[in-house]
């Protein structure tokens, strides 16, 4: 008995499974019963009757079930269910068993849900359209294309009217009979410049319905119309015309968003961070407009996808290339010339885009300079390249690259040195010496991205990338001491290299939810360094070498998950969290950053929005001047230097008061922590202390109001923006620990862009901007400091007293720029003449302020005056010639 119990306990589970299996065999489903048929062709009724005879199963159905006169079955032996699936393959029916009877019932396809997915593209260029709206017109449900032009949503079957719209393009409506999951790709045609905006029904989606706040979709199609310095179209100068974005210093392309610093902007080029975006010391940016597909600026309400910066995200996507034909463009300007080419590569599955830009200042000026006078040479270039290949409707591969470089050389203070004053043993000819400056900086970015559509609900993008920013400068100075001419070389070399791997997912579980999640790993290498070398000009022997700085590496890890979901027809929410970490020698910094945006739809044309964002940043930019220079040094957090962090809340109203006219107003409050600055009187060339000991940290509080009226389409287009803002900083190591106005504080800012198309061939454009003066630190008094016997080392001279940091303000800034484009179609393509004038009314805006002393010989008195230096004190014309073929 004991053995029987033991056997039963050990094998009871197997016995249970055995009986279940045998029970299923004995009670086999009628649908699973295998039948051998005598014939496989006939009408629906005839084949059903024959299957009944062979299987012993009875079918019950009404005349509402679709039937056909001729049906062909694929084989003579199969299960009853397999035969039914073939007979009703084109019918919507369901069947279930009841006492050896199979009941067949018709299905209303309107009760079934099917998925619609695909891509939206420009019908002419084949470029994907990011942020296009696709929707079921009757059901008022839909989706928005992601950064790769992909969309997906689910709707009921049957007769469906699907609409697709995008600003600046003709909308499309398609009537389809939806009976299964379907792929529909849309190709939208651009609207003619003079065509007024078509009024789309209330079911179309727009920025009003988005849960996103503080976002600007930069109209790249209007970029060529913005009057520009030397006729050089510049993306950043256009972005500076939007509320909440400050210009820094006149003529420069830095971005200062909502009181934040230049380093607090996450600038992405095809999803890869860009650390330096300036050419010509910041007069314009490295982004070639002819290589850009779309640009999105986010100033607050950051989705959880983005992390690593405090103030803004500038997301730039490059062109992919025309899949149908070869396009070429040549543009000649006063400052640079450009060449662009794009098109298919062998077939429409592979396309490419290539753009090159270079200045020819060095080639023109160098032959005109005399060898005995100052000799200056400067050039820059950009190269953008992108290739994408479509393996299938599910799989695509992108390879992107950017290479840009600036180089400056200057020879000055020429001297011819006779060999007799060098030394008697020197047998060479007379020496010709000069002081030299050599500087260069640039970016190299390479990325590979793979898109894959797993199914109707899941989309992924995998990215591998490398970026390298490097800056170097050196100065050679000759001097004569101890009967020998020597050279001292002071050089500075810095940079940052990144290796990045990341994967992002878009998941569409249902129409009311759009989930995004992903992880990102970045390996940093920072290269701060200073080298001072003293050598003998005759022997070349190095007498003294000083090196400062060392390589620093570190790794950032980011992860996120967010859901953009609909709670009701009026309420939409984007909620998520961003995780990040950075490990230093002793510390492992970690941050969990919640993100929340809420939209309440008051009416179909009016929405209220609010957002809350927590951000952190593990890299710092140490400024070496009041303007953005490539010598600014990128460095990581350390055991002494903590990460920066910020909290931001905003409230926005968005109102489409007329078709095509949008008004938005937004209040924001932002507090940032652990910002860095140099202690007063410190310099990065000071080798007496390490770089971390030169720094002090503090907090900045910013708040303001931003308003924007905008129209993107029609013969008249443009926008008018206004910003009221305040930014106050507190650094224990600066200004005696007292609050002071932040460097980028501006009280009022007004910007306007207006474009009018007189015809298909002529358009005129203007920009006008006004900004309150930026804070500046000036000496309150200058006094004579005689040599004192008790302190002989001081010596006599003049000293200045600075009572408060940023106590004063520079004069207000305002400027008017105008331009006209003359276009004409030729048999070989199209030509464009662009002419204009910068600073039309000759406003002398201050570049910097300085004191000067004027001595009156008659009275013996000295008067001190405050003067300004203007970079562009007069109207400045420009011209550019472009051909497209």
Question: What is the reported pLDDT for 423?
Answer: 47
Please give the Cα distance from 562 to 205 (Å, whole number). Answer: 21
pLDDT in tens, 426-481: 445 555 666 777 888 889 999 999 999 888 889 999 999 999 998 887 777 766 65
Q: pLDDT-based confidence at 107, cuts 50/70/90?
A: confident
The pair of three-digit structure tokens given for residue 858, joined into one six-digit string: 């008659």
Residue 623: partners with Cβ closer than 8 Å, 6 or more residues away? 261, 262, 632, 677, 678
Answer whether 677's CB lies under 8 Å from 695's CB. Answer: yes
Phi/psi zone of residue 839: left (φ > 0), alpha (ψ -120 to 50 degrees), beta?
Answer: left
Answer whether 556's CB lies under 8 Å from 537's CB. Answer: no
pLDDT > 90: what percent of the chain? 23
The three state secondary structure string of 845-883 is CCCEEEEEEEEECCCCEEEEEEEEECCCCCCEEEEEEEE
Please give the Cα distance from 313 to 115 (Å, whole number). Answer: 32
Q: Which of 183-187, 323-327, 511-515 has the lowest mean pLDDT?
A: 323-327
Q: pLDDT-based confidence at 61, cuts 50/70/90?
A: confident
Q: pLDDT-based confidence at 88, cuts 50/70/90?
A: confident
pLDDT in tens, 333-353: 877 888 999 888 877 789 999
- The dihedrals phi and psi of 549, each to the nearest 5 degrees, come to 95, 160
Question: What is the reported pLDDT for 9?
Answer: 47
Question: What is the reported pLDDT for 596?
Answer: 95
Question: What is the reported pLDDT for 640?
Answer: 81
Question: What is the reported pLDDT for 305?
Answer: 93
Q: pLDDT-based confidence at 200, cuts 50/70/90?
A: very low
pLDDT in tens, 597-634: 999 999 888 999 999 999 999 988 876 555 445 556 77
Please give the Cα distance from 229 to 874 (Å, whole number). Answer: 13
Answer whether 382's CB lies under 8 Å from 288's CB. Answer: yes
Q: pLDDT-based confidence at 206, cuts 50/70/90?
A: low
The pair of three-digit structure tokens given for residue 576, joined into one six-digit string: 């998520």
Mean pLDDT (whole number) for 862-883: 80
DSSP run (H or E) holding 158 = strand 158-165
Residue 771: partners with Cβ closer than 8 Å, 6 or more residues away? 246, 247, 746, 748, 749, 750, 812, 813, 814
Q: Is the pLDDT of residue 594 over 50?
A: yes
Average pLDDT, the chain: 80
41-45, 226-230, 666-670, range with greatest mean pLDDT: 666-670
The pair of three-digit structure tokens given for residue 456, joined into one six-digit string: 């109707």
Residue 556: partners with Cβ closer than 8 Å, 6 or more residues away? 308, 520, 521, 522, 524, 580, 581, 582, 618
- The answer to whether 22-107 and 110-205 have equal CATH topology is no
CA proximity to 722, closest of 740, 706, 736, 703: 706
Mean pLDDT (whole number) for 809-823: 89
Q: Is the pLDDT of residue 203 over 50?
A: no
Question: What is the reported pLDDT for 229?
Answer: 74
Residue 867 CB-density burial (10 A; 0-12 exposed, 13-18 middle, 19+ buried): exposed
What is the model's pTM?
0.79
| Count of helices and strands (H, E) across the chain | 5, 57
pLDDT > 70: what percent of the chain? 79
Q: pLDDT-based confidence at 10, cuts 50/70/90?
A: very low
Q: Which of 315-324, 457-466, 487-496, 748-757 has the lowest mean pLDDT?
A: 487-496
Question: Domain 22-107 has what CATH class?
Answer: alpha beta
Question: What is the reported pLDDT for 23?
Answer: 42
* 258 half-sphere exposure, CB direction, 13 A CA radius: 31
Question: What is the reported pLDDT for 62?
Answer: 75
The pair of three-digit structure tokens given for residue 68, joined into one six-digit string: 């056909």
The pair of three-digit structure tokens given for residue 648, joined into one six-digit string: 């931001």
Q: Is the pLDDT of residue 4 over 70?
A: no
Q: Is the pLDDT of residue 702 over 90?
A: yes
* Residue 551 per-residue DSSP state: -
Please give the Cα distance from 132 to 324 (Å, whole number). Answer: 22
Higher pLDDT, 314 or 156: 314
Q: Which of 489-503, 558-572, 660-674 has the lowest mean pLDDT?
A: 489-503
Q: pLDDT-based confidence at 790, cuts 50/70/90?
A: low
Q: Which residue has the tokens 């409230």?
A: 651
Answer whether 219's CB lies under 8 Å from 190's CB. Answer: no
Q: Which residues are registered as beta bridge partners of 741? A: 728
Please give the Cα distance from 155 to 116 (Å, whole number). Answer: 8
Q: For the domain 110-205, what is the CATH code? A: 2.60.40.1120
Please give the Cα distance from 95 to 37 (Å, whole number). Answer: 21
Residue 240: partners with Cβ closer than 8 Å, 6 or more residues away? 246, 247, 253, 255, 751, 769
The CATH architecture of the domain made up of 317-774+810-884 is Beta Barrel (2.40)
CA proximity to 156, closest of 110, 93, 116, 107: 110
pLDDT in tens, 134-176: 888 877 788 888 888 888 888 888 788 888 888 778 888 888 8
Domain boundaries in the chain?
A: 22-107, 110-205, 317-774+810-884, 775-807
The pair of three-digit structure tokens given for residue 467, joined into one six-digit string: 């970026």
pLDDT in tens, 526-571: 876 656 555 555 445 555 454 455 778 889 999 999 999 988 888 9
Residue 699: partners with Cβ closer than 8 Å, 6 or more residues away? 671, 672, 673, 674, 675, 729, 730, 731
Question: What is the reported pLDDT for 14?
Answer: 41
Please give the Cα distance from 771 to 721 (Å, whole number). Answer: 12
Q: Is the pLDDT of residue 208 over 70?
A: yes
């Amino acid at each position: 008995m004991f053995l029987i119990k033991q056997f039963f306990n050990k094998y009871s589970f197997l016995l249970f499974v055995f009986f279940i299996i045998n029970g299923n065999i004995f009670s086999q489903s009628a649908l699973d019963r295998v039948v051998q048929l005598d014939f496989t062709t006939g009408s629906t009724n005839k084949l059903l009757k024959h299957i009944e005879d062979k299987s012993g199963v009875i079918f019950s159905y009404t005349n509402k079930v679709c039937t056909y006169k001729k049906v062909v079955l694929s084989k003579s032996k199969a299960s009853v269910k397999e035969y039914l699936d073939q007979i009703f393959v084109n019918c919507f029916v369901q069947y279930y068993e009841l006492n050896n009877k199979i009941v067949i019932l018709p299905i209303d396809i309107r009760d079934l849900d099917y998925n619609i997915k695909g891509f939206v593209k420009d019908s002419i260029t084949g470029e994907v359209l990011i942020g296009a709206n696709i929707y079921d017109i009757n059901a008022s449900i839909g989706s928005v294309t992601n950064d790769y032009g992909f969309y997906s949503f689910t709707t009921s079957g049957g007769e469906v009217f699907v609409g697709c719209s995008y600003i600046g393009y003709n909308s499309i409506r398609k009537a389809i009979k939806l009976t299964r999951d379907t792929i529909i790709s849309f190709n939208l045609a651009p609207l003619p410049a003079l065509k007024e905006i078509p009024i789309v029904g209330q079911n179309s989606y727009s920025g009003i319905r988005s849960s996103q706040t503080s976002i600007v979709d930069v109209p790249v199609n209007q970029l060529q119309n913005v009057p520009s310095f030397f006729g050089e179209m510049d993306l950043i100068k256009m972005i500076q015309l939007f509320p909440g974005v400050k210009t820094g210093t006149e003529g420069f392309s830095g971005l200062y968003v909502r009181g934040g610093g230049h380093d607090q902007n996450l600038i992405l080029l095809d999803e890869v961070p860009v650390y330096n975006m300036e050419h010509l010391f910041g007069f314009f940016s490295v982004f070639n407009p002819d290589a850009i597909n779309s640009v999105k600026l986010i100033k607050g309400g950051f989705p959880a996808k983005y992390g690593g910066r405090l103030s803004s995200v500038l997301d730039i996507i490059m062109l992919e290339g025309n899949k149908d034909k070869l396009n070429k463009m040549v543009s000649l300007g006063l400052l640079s010339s450009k060449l662009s080419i794009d098109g298919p590569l062998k077939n429409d599955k592979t396309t490419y885009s290539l753009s090159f830009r270079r200045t020819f200042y060095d080639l023109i000026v160098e032959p005109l300079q005399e060898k005995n006078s100052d000799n200056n040479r400067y050039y820059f270039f950009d190269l953008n390249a992108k290739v994408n290949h479509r393996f299938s409707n599910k799989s695509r591969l992108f390879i992107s690259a950017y290479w840009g470089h600036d180089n400056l050389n200057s020879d000055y203070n020429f001297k011819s040195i006779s060999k007799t004053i060098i030394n008697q043993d020197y047998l060479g000819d007379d020496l010709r010496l000069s002081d030299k400056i050599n500087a260069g900086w640039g970016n190299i970015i390479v990325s590979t991205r793979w898109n894959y559509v797993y199914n109707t609900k899941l989309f992924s993008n995998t990215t591998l990338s490398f970026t390298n920013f490097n800056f170097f400068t050196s100065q050679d100075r000759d001097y004569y001491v101890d009967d020998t001419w020597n050279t001292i070389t002071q050089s500075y070399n810095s940079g940052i290299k990144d290796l990045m791997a990341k994967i992002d997912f878009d998941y569409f579980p249902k129409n009311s939810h759009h989930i995004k999640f992903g992880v990102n790993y970045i390996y940093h290498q920072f290269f701060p360094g200073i080298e001072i070398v003293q050598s003998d000009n005759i022997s070349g022997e190095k007498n003294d070498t000083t090196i400062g700085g060392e390589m620093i590496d570190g790794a950032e890890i980011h992860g996120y998950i967010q859901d953009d979901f609909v709670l009701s027809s009026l309420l939409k929410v984007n909620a998520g969290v961003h995780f990040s970490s950075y490990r230093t020698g002793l510390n492992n910094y970690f941050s969990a950053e919640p993100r929340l945006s809420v939209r309440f739809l008051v009416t179909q044309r009016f929405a209220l929005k609010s957002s809350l964002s927590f951000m952190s940043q593990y890299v710092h930019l140490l400024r070496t001047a009041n303007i953005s220079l490539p010598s600014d040094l990128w460095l990581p957090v350390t055991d002494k230097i903590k990460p920066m962090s910020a909290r931001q809340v905003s409230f926005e109203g968005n109102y489409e008061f007329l078709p095509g006219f949008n008004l938005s107003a937004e209040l924001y409050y932002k507090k940032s922590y652990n910002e860095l600055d140099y202690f007063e009187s410190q310099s990065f060339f000071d080798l007496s202390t390490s770089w971390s000991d030169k720094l002090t940290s503090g907090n900045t509080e910013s708040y303001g109001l931003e308003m924007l009226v905008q129209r993107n389409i029609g013969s008249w287009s443009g926008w008018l923006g206004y910003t009221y803002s305040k930014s106050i900083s507190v650094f224990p190591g600066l200004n005696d620990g007292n609050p002071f106005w932040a460097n980028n504080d501006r009280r009022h800012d007004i910007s306007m862009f207006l474009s009018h198309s007189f015809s298909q061939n002529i358009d005129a454009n203007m920009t006008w901007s006004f900004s309150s003066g930026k804070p500046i630190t000036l000496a309150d008094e200058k006094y004579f400091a005689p040599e004192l016997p008790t302190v002989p080392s001081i010596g006599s001279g003049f000293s200045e007293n600075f009572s408060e940091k940023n106590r004063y303000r520079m004069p207000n800034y305002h400027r008017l720029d105008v331009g006209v484009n003359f276009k004409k179609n030729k048999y070989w393509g199209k030509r464009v003449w662009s002419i204009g004038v910068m600073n039309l009314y000759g406003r002398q805006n201050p570049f910097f302020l300085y004191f000067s002393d004027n001595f009156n010989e008659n009275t013996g008195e000295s008067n001190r005056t405050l003067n300004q230096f203007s970079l562009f004190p007069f109207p400045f014309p420009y011209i550019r010639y472009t051909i497209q073929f």
